[in-house]
Amino acid sequence: MARTKDNPRYNVISMRISDEERRHLENLVEKTHSSVSHIMREAIEYFSANQNIKKPKRNTAKRGILS
Instruction: Flag whether 33 is in a domain.
Output: yes
Confidence at residue 20, expressed as pLDDT on a 0 to 100 scale: 98
- Residue (of 6, 3, 8, 43) closest to 24 by Cα position: 43
Number of structural domains the chain divides into:
1
pTM: 0.64
Instruction: Flag whether 58 is in a domain.
Output: no
Checking if the pLDDT of 31 tops 80, the result is yes
| Full residue range of the structural domain in which residue 46 is found | 16-52
Rounded CA separation 57/7 (Å): 34
Confidence at residue 7, expressed as pLDDT on a 0 to 100 scale: 79
Instruction: Flag whether 1 is in a domain.
Output: no
User: Which residues are CB-contacts of 17 (< 8 A; sequence separation ≥ 6)?
Assistant: 25
Instruction: Flag whether 60 is in a domain.
Output: no
Instruction: Flag whether 65 is in a domain.
Output: no
User: Which residues are CB-contacts of 67 (< 8 A; sequence separation ≥ 6)?
Assistant: 56, 57, 58, 59
Instruction: Flag whether 9 is in a domain.
Output: no
Instruction: Flag whether 40 is in a domain.
Output: yes
| Range name among 29-38, 48-57, 58-67 with the lowest pLDDT average | 58-67
Instruction: Flag whether 32 is in a domain.
Output: yes
